[in-house]
Amino acid sequence: MSKICQITGKKANNGYNISHSHMRTKKKQNVNLQNRKIWSSSRNCWIKVKISTKGLKSLYKIY
All domains of the chain in start order, with CATH: 13-62 (2.30.170.40)
Distance of CA 19 to the CA centre of its chain: 27
If you write DSSP's letter for every residue of 12-46 in order, what string do you get? -EEEEEE-TT--EEEEEE---EEEEEEEETTTTEE
Phi/psi region, residue 22 (left: phi>0; alpha: psi -120 to 50; beta: rest), is left
- Contact between 31 and 41 under an 8 Å Cβ cutoff? The reply is no
Residue pLDDT, tens place only, 32-61? 999 999 998 899 999 999 999 999 998 877
Residue 19 predicted with pLDDT over 70 = yes
Confidence check: pLDDT of 17 > 70: yes
Quick one: pLDDT band at residue 9, thresholds 50, 70, 90?
A: very high
pLDDT at 8: 92
Query: Residue 1's pLDDT is what?
Result: 58
